[in-house]
A = this chain, B = another copy of it.
Amino acid sequence: MRGVVRVLDERKLDVLRAIVEDYVATHEPVGSKTLVDRHNLGVSPATVRNDMAALEEEGYITQPHTSAGRIPTDAGYRLFVDKLSTVKSLSAAEKKAISSFLVGAVDLDDVVRRTVRLLAQITRQVAIVQYPTLSRSSVRHIEVVTMTPRRLLLVLITSTGRVEQRIVETHEDVDEQLIADLRSRLNTALTGQRLTDAATSLASVTETFAPADRSLVAAVVTSLLEAFTVEGEQRIAVGGAANLTRYGDDFERNVKPVLEALEEHVILLKLLGEATNPQTLTVRIGHENPYEGLATTSVVATGYGSKSEALATLGIVGPTHMDYPSTMGAVRAVARYVSQILADS
């Protein structure tokens, strides 16, 4: 008895898998006959129809209209991703292409730019790469430069090779000696510290200055604090928008909201948000996304950086009917290679 039920269930899953694969390949609703023709399921179309009815009942597939084939629902894709597919590894050639593409980056910005491009190219989807998060890196060096008598430029260099800059306006002309002093004290106090800890150390630095100089120092400290925290974490690079053309033809409904979302880096950060673990791939399908404009869209993301703690996240945005196994494989592979490149730093 058990055995029989088991076999039935398994076949239903086979049917679902076949539907997803077919629909992803053709972008057309798939019917029972076509399905039997293309995959050797070993049963007749009528049987498949029964299974399909059951799958529809359970919410995994749906019909765009009566007497059309079935297409997977978000739940169907979810089941497919969770249970019915395995992440597809890249070919040796592809792996080679990745590493040769990333080697030769001149600085961190360049690494990120190349990564976006690469990811967009091999997934043929829109790629999103978050710049390494500051809070997890540490202070390498702080530079204070006077640009005009009343304008200072602060430059923060982190252990990940990232450079943050801030302009500080002062009320009075600044004293070069004071600046030199400030520069050296800041570096003494902060170099090597995590950005999160550096924030607290900053307070004590202020206290070592004469009251007369405090207002200038305070302005600089405020600006540095800003650089240490929020502001810096929000940088993102996007690429491959031209791949949106393959979303189908309902332009206004499918493409426009995605383009709009891509301009709103805040939204993108939310999308990538929780995918901080470099060991796992996060997949958000259709309505699982926290943004309604992306209801026909899936996000595949993962963390990158050192194995123990992620520096940042990267991923792709594509139509729900994407090739999940390949896409997930590509995202995972790129994340690994980028991590490696950065680890060498």
Residues of A within 8 A of B (CB): 106-109, 140-141, 143, 145, 147-148, 151, 153, 155, 157, 159, 161, 163, 165-167, 223, 226, 231, 239-242, 244-245, 249, 251-252, 255-256, 259-260, 262-263, 345
From A151, A259, A262, residue with most partner B Cβ within 10 Å: A259
B contact residues around A108 at 8 Å (CB): 165
- A153 / chain B contacts, CB cutoff of 8 Å: 140, 157, 161
Please tell me if the beta carbons of B155 and A145 are within 8 angstroms of each other in the complex: no
Residue of B nearest to A260 (CB): B242
Minimal Cβ-Cβ distance residue in B for A160 = B147
A140's nearest neighbour on chain B, judged by CB, is B145
Q: Are B165 and A109 in contact (CB under 8 A)?
A: yes
- Set B106, B145, B244, B262: member contacting A226, Cβ < 8 A: B106
Closest to A241 in B: B259
Residue of B nearest to A111 (CB): B167
Identical copies in the complex: 2
A-B contact pairs, 27 of them (CB 8 A): A106-B166, A106-B167, A106-B223, A107-B165, A107-B167, A109-B165, A140-B145, A140-B153, A141-B143, A141-B145, A143-B143, A143-B155, A147-B345, A155-B155, A155-B157, A155-B163, A161-B167, A163-B163, A240-B263, A241-B241, A242-B256, A242-B259, A244-B259, A245-B256, A245-B259, A249-B251, A251-B255
Interface of A, helix, strand, loop or mixed by DSSP: mixed
Q: Which of B143, B157, B242, B260 contacts A263 (CB 8 A)?
A: B242
Q: Nearest CB to that of A258 among chain B residues? A: B242
Q: Which residue of B lies closest to A251 (CB)?
A: B251
Residues of B within 8 A of A166 (CB): 106-107
Closest partner residue, chain B, to A226 (CB atom): B106
> How far in angstroms is the closest Cβ of chain B from A49?
36
Instruction: Please give, as numbers and ranges, the residues of chain B lying within 8 Å of A251 by CB-CB distance.
Output: 245, 249, 251, 255
Measured between beta carbons, the chain B residues less than 8 angstroms from A165 are 107-109, 161, 163
Contact with A148, one of B147, B245, B345 (Cβ below 8 angstroms)? B345
Contact present for B167 and A145 (CB under 8 Å): no
Q: How far is the CA of A42 from the CA of B328 in the complex (A)?
A: 67
Q: A109-B165, A147-B161, A242-B262 are in contact. List 9 more A-B contacts (CB 8 A).
A: A106-B167, A107-B166, A143-B143, A151-B345, A161-B165, A241-B259, A242-B256, A244-B259, A245-B256
The interface residues of chain B lying within 8 Å CB-to-CB of A143 are 141, 143, 155, 157
User: Which B residues are CB-close (under 8 A) to A345?
Assistant: 147-148, 151, 167
Q: Bound state CA distance, A308 and B108, in angstroms?
A: 35
Q: If the complex has contacts A163-B163, A165-B161, A167-B107, are A239 and B256 also in contact, measured as CB distance less than 8 A?
A: no
| A140-B147, A147-B161, A167-B106 as given contacts; A252 in contact with B245, CB under 8 Å | yes
Bound together, the chains give a CA A140 to CA B155 distance in angstroms of: 12
Contact between chains at B226 and A241 (CB < 8 Å): no
Partner of A145, one of B157, B223, B245, B255: B157
* Shortest Cβ distance from residue A140 to the other chain B in the assembled complex, whole angstroms: 6
A157: chain B residues within 8 A (beta carbon): 143, 145, 153, 155
Q: Which residue of B lies closest to A247 (CB)?
A: B251
